[in-house]
Amino acid sequence: MITVSLISALRLLGIFLMLPIFSAYAVRYPGATPALAGVAFGIYALIQCIFQIPLGWASDRWGRKPVLLIGLLLFSLGSIGCAWANDVYSLILARALQGTGAVGAVAFAVLADLTRPSVRAQAYTITGIAIGASFMIGLLAGPILAAKIGLNGLFYLLAGLGFLSMILTLTSFPAEKPRSSAEPALGFRTVLAEARLRPIFIATFVLSFALNLFFFTYPLSWTDIGFDKAQLWKVYLIIFLPSILLVFPYMRRAEKAGQFRRPIMIGWFTATVGYGIYFIGAQSDILLYLSGAAFFFGYSIYQPMLPTFLTQQVPAAGRGTASGVYNSFGFIGSSLGGMLGGALIHISPVLPELLGVGVLLGWFFLGLPVAPKSD
């Protein structure tokens, strides 16, 4: 479990290093415009969305380890291609190749394979903490490293992290149980047709949509009240702290008791209240801190629950496909949240917040996920 968490965190660290600086550097490429820089930034998530399902299905059929190695290799080669790019068009193509290494669904499935249902939420929480640490390190170190080694150097660093993850996979990846020929991989349509899984897919779409919508406008709200953008890392450190300290022990207690109804409600409520505070208090630093901490706490509660609920309701031979669908819904939500955040803020600064509150309220009436019965 620790090895899988480390592989996921290392791969995502490279991505998070890019988040705070990519657009500022990409517009400097020959032939670049802000729109083409946006394509270079967004095409990675688009290709990831497309490849999550086929790679997840492939891992069900041919095993997790070989598919994970292939995905990490594609990601690393794409990163090298990005480092070699000499204009914005070659950068776009290389970013697309980078996106084909969509192994998030495979990592989700591996965690489910390695853990008992009674402790699965804890495993996903630990992985979430590792990924959260990668996010913070990337957010803080990205601008510093980019200033020293440039965007090309960062892409080489991404490739190095990808190859390091491959070495860990080759040397420390847990042995897989032989797959029974009587247990064929589930098809995409079979997974989508399963009514019990739809609330989980809706939940990851809504939460990913709300997260990107929130974090597209949230830093702009801080700069609007005069906060130095170079100091935003301090804001993120403060708002993430309650989640880092409280989510794991809370979810561990809920899992031991086998009671997820309260975390489901608390997660939705705190995320919605956080967005509501943001809607009414975007001009106040205290309210901005409260809104960020509340929203991210609610979001963080759901992160271990959703994959736990998902993998408990599909057989081992279908976890890769189901995780691929799950991740694809998340990537679609992320893309739409970011794009609508950028479009709506030009019309009115309050529209993204209003949309976020409306989507989270609508999610409640549409139906929150329900914990499966214990095995």
Q: Does 200 lie in the same domain as 162?
A: no
What's the confidence (pLDDT) of residue 255?
A: 75
Q: Does 135 lie in the same domain as 278?
A: no
Per-residue model confidence as pLDDT tens for the chain (375 residues): 566 666 666 667 767 777 667 766 888 899 988 778 777 877 887 888 888 878 888 887 888 889 989 989 999 999 999 999 999 999 999 999 998 987 777 776 776 676 666 565 566 666 666 666 676 677 677 777 888 888 899 899 989 988 988 898 888 777 666 555 555 555 667 777 778 889 999 999 999 889 878 877 787 788 888 887 667 778 878 888 888 788 878 887 887 777 888 999 999 999 999 999 999 988 888 999 999 999 989 988 888 788 878 877 877 667 777 877 888 888 788 777 777 777 787 788 888 889 999 999 999 999 999 887 654
Q: Does 76 lie in the same domain as 222?
A: no
Last residue of a domain, one of 125, 150, 174: 174
CA distance 122 to 257: 13
Q: Does 168 lie in the same domain as 208?
A: no
Residue 18 domain flag: yes
345: Cβ–Cβ under 8 A, 6 or more apart, which residues?
Answer: 216, 217, 220, 351, 352
Question: Residue 324 is part of a domain; what is its CATH number?
Answer: 1.20.1250.20
Q: Does 233 lie in the same domain as 160?
A: no
What's the confidence (pLDDT) of residue 229?
A: 67
Q: Does 67 lie in the same domain as 18?
A: yes
What's the confidence (pLDDT) of residue 375?
A: 45
Last residue of a domain, one of 152, 174, 196: 174
CA distance 345 to 307: 32
What's the confidence (pLDDT) of residue 20?
A: 63
Residue 181 domain flag: no
Q: Does 226 lie in the same domain as 148?
A: no
- pTM for the whole structure: 0.74
Q: Does 212 lie in the same domain as 91?
A: no
Q: Does 148 lie in the same domain as 34?
A: yes
Number of domains in the chain: 2
What's the confidence (pLDDT) of residue 186?
A: 59
First to last CA, the chain: 21
Residue 182 domain flag: no
Ramachandran region of residue 250, left (φ > 0), alpha (ψ -120 to 50) or beta? alpha
**Domain of 136, in residue numbers:** 1-174
Q: Does 1 lie in the same domain as 34?
A: yes
Q: Does 54 lie in the same domain as 9?
A: yes
Whether 20 and 145 have beta carbons less than 8 Å apart is answered as no
What's the confidence (pLDDT) of residue 246?
A: 87
Q: Does 104 lie in the same domain as 233?
A: no
CA distance 14 to 10: 7
